[in-house]
Amino acid sequence: MAKNKISQAVREEVLGRIQDSGELLAELCLELGNTFAPVGYEKAVADAVSAWYGRHDISSFQQQLVPDRSNVIARLSGDGSGKSLIFNAHLDTEISGDDYDRLMDVPDPNKVGGWREGDQLFGHTVLNDRGLMAIFMIMGKAIQEAKVPLSGDVILTSVVGETGQSPVDEYQGMTYEGKGLGSRYMVDHGIRADYALVAEATGWGMSWVECGAVYVKVTLRGRNMYTPRLIRGDNLSQHPNALVKGAEVIRALEAWAIDYEERNSYESVCGPVRPKSQVGAVRGGVPYRPNRASPVCNIYLDVRTVPGSDQDAVVQEVRSLVQEIDPSAEVECFMAKAGYEGVGVEPLSEAIAKGYDSVIGGTPPQPEVAITSMWRDTNIFNSSGIPSLTFGLGRGESSVQGTGSYDLKDLVACSQIYALTALDLCGD
């Protein structure tokens, strides 16, 4: 390996600049977190990211996918002799806009935006994923101001549509393109590198193993029967009300999900992988006419799949299960995103581990099982031949969507680890 041309003095200058930028980092987290930009309408926060780069003399541009949806690409250019590295975070938030009241446990508008209590930063938009975006933006500023002599490019990417909304029923168009829209568009339109680091909260662990996801719609049919005229069958599967059939199907799917997870779990190099499944939505009936049986019940199922699995076989497994209960049931897949295990990530993982040891001390911990069992844009890069992994700080108690917090000192430390990673990979 060629000798890294970035001196220790320059490295220390970069780390010092990041250390001195703690308050600026907190401000940026809140600025981005409090820019309202629900999924499908991310342009406002893309503009905020672009404006911040402009204020700090960092070159950037926007990739407009459609009106109101733009990626932001910033580049710290090297001399072309070394490896390049993408830092990636997503602009969209999973729960906002019209979905908020239906999906949050306790509706609270504060959870959509961000706020600060002492050195703790809160809010769903900050936690997922604009806080991590702010981390590498601050890193980019420090590298730029220190005039680091890079060999390869450091590319900072903020993308739409990572969490995604998938096309089903009346939900169609570019707002409902599913997971990974922005990163896929970016890679397909020339933004590539030797490695990619997807900035997500991982509790300081690294994962280059990511599950896929299959979304399945089950349609059950019954009869529009008036309550006084109701005649029940011998079992729930013969009930004329499609919603009652649905209850039987959901019970069967839940039992299947437990078995499916046990059959397909395995130990990966990054830790245990547990592909889970759950029913996420049910539609049927008319709330103000409960005296009429629902002639249709739709059930929407999320099934996570391990890398290399046959996703069509998973759909067929669900179909066979459901049609044992109701032979007339219709089962269709409306999204299938494959999972991948990154290949050739070792230079990146080793650089992160070295940076972690320098900043925090010791070896990065093994990520918790939920981290290795998710779908992220890491899959987009790995499927495109760009070795990629996910790495970021911890965010406290976050078992419920939108909960937890970032400690400012951890945000600073993570930015420093990102910086050392970039200097190691892109300084040779």
Same domain, 139 and 154: yes
Same domain, 252 and 326: yes
> What pLDDT digit, counting tens, does each position of 287-325 carry?
889 998 899 999 999 999 999 999 999 999 999 999 999
Q: Which of 92, 94, 377, 410 is catalytic?
A: 92
Is 48's pLDDT higher than 80?
Answer: yes
**For the chain, what is the mean pLDDT?**
92
Same domain, 41 and 119: yes
Query: Active-site residue 79, yes or no?
Result: no
Nearest Cα to 250, choosing from 299, 213, 307, 284?
299
CB under 8 Å to 324, separation ≥6 — which residues?
252
Same domain, 175 and 198: yes
Surface-to-core class of residue 73, CB atoms within 10 Å of its CB (0-12 exposed, 13-18 middle, 19+ buried): buried
pLDDT of 373 reads: 92
Q: Is residue 280 part of a domain?
A: yes
Surface-to-core class of residue 68, CB atoms within 10 Å of its CB (0-12 exposed, 13-18 middle, 19+ buried): middle
Q: Is residue 2 part of a domain?
A: no
Is 248's pLDDT higher than 80?
Answer: yes
114-117 long-range contacts, CB within 8 A, separation 24+: 114/29, 114/30, 114/32, 114/33, 114/34, 115/30, 116/26, 116/30, 117/405
* Spatial distance between the Cα atoms of 260 and 210, rounded to a whole number of angstroms: 17
Res. 1 pLDDT band, cuts 50 70 90: very low
333: domain CATH number is 3.30.70.360
Among 337, 372, 405, the domain-final residue is 337
Q: Is residue 44 part of a domain?
A: yes
Same domain, 345 and 309: no
Q: Is residue 265 part of a domain?
A: yes
Q: What is this structure's pTM?
A: 0.93
Same domain, 250 and 167: no
Same domain, 92 and 186: yes
45: domain CATH number is 3.40.630.10
**Within 13 A of 324's CA, how many CA atoms are on the CB side?**
11
Contact at 8 Å (CB) between 164 and 179? yes
Nearest Cα to 14, choosing from 139, 156, 137, 134?
139
Neighbours of 268 (CB within 10 A): 15
> Which two structure tokens, joined as six digits, stand for 330?
């219709």
Domain count, the chain: 2
* Spatial distance between the Cα atoms of 304 and 263, rounded to a whole number of angstroms: 13
Provide the domain limits for residue 390.
8-209+340-426
* Spatial distance between the Cα atoms of 312 and 206, rounded to a whole number of angstroms: 29
Among 288, 314, 337, the domain-final residue is 337
> What pLDDT digit, counting tens, does each position of 378-389 carry?
999 999 999 999
Same domain, 165 and 285: no
pLDDT of 37 reads: 83
> Which two structure tokens, joined as six digits, stand for 424?
């190691």
Query: Active-site residue 210, yes or no?
Result: no
Q: Which of 94, 129, 153, 162 is catalytic?
A: 162
Q: Is residue 327 part of a domain?
A: yes
Q: Is residue 3 part of a domain?
A: no
Percent of the chain with pLDDT over 70: 93
Neighbours of 101 (CB within 10 A): 9
Q: Is residue 349 part of a domain?
A: yes
Same domain, 109 and 255: no
Q: Name the H helices within 360-426.
A: 369-372, 378-383, 408-426
Same domain, 195 and 237: no
pLDDT of 203 reads: 95
Same domain, 35 and 62: yes
CB under 8 Å to 39, separation ≥6 — which residues?
92, 93, 94, 96, 97, 161, 163, 164, 165, 175
Among 273, 305, 337, the domain-final residue is 337
Same domain, 102 and 75: yes
- The amino acid present at 285, given as its one-letter code, is G
